[in-house]
Amino acid sequence: MKENINALKSGYRSFKEFGFKANEARFKALVEDGQNPKALFIGCSDSRVVPEIIMDTKPGDLFITRNIGNFVPPFKEDEDFHATAAAIEYAVSVLQVNDIIVCGHSHCGAISALFEPPKITNRQEVIHTLKWLELGKDAKDQVEKIIPHEHIEVKKEATQKLSVIFQLENLLTYPEVKKRVFEKDLFLHGWYYEIENGNISYYDETEDRFEPL
Ligand SMILES: [Zn+2]
């Protein structure tokens, strides 16, 4: 679809003419002083969940890593390529952020796939996707245990939220995260964004439920 790439190119031209100019001083300062983001945001790759828009942030405000399902793989001491782990380490140990937000969302395709696996004839084509989705399996299994007879959409929503809590637990498997959380120098936040109404709720640990932000 040539229109798609052309729309993006024309978006760039508009940015260069207006958006860049409006933020030029900020960009220059961010180059001179380096970045000092307010938080690490771990979100879903879903095109409808745009952190800069939903938190109304400016360049330099957020260090972001997005992946399918906003999952946090547990810390693993090996020399493989771990993109999400590297982003966490860099944000925590180099940029020294004080807050990490894990943000789940409604209508998440990753969570839906746990309930209704996509119909793909050649597993090899999506081999990494299927492996990656295992990171949501514990949440899904737990929901199946707690509300086995609920409608599938109710189960999906419950899994989207429970998975956020499980990913926060996975964050604590990173030694430096655990240490700084224990020292009250780093704070973990579980959020849930609803695409259809723009609402964000946060996980309240004491009440063990999501409350409006
Ligand atoms: Zn998603």
Q: Cα of 58 to ligand 1 centre, how many Å?
A: 23
Q: Cα of 69 to ligand 1 centre, how many Å?
A: 4
**Domain residue spans of the chain:** 1-34, 35-212
Convert the pLDDT of each residue in 64-83 to its tens digit.
999 999 999 999 999 899 99
Q: Cα of 16 to ligand 1 centre, how many Å?
A: 30
Side by side, the strands of the sheet bearing 99-105 are 62-67, 39-44, 99-105, 187-193, 200-204, 209-212
Q: Cα of 68 to ligand 1 centre, how many Å?
A: 6
Q: Class of 35-212 per CATH?
A: alpha beta
The answer to whether the beta carbons of residues 198 and 190 sit under 8 Å apart is no
Q: Cα of 26 to ligand 1 centre, how many Å?
A: 31
Q: Cα of 210 to ligand 1 centre, how many Å?
A: 18
Q: Cα of 139 to ligand 1 centre, how many Å?
A: 14
The answer to whether the beta carbons of residues 57 and 101 sit under 8 Å apart is no
Convert the pLDDT of each residue in 18-44 to its tens digit.
999 999 999 999 999 999 999 999 999
Q: What is the pTM of this model?
A: 0.96
Convert the pLDDT of each residue in 114-156 to its tens digit.
999 888 888 899 999 999 999 999 999 999 999 999 999 999 9
- Give Cα 60 distance to the centre of its chain: 18
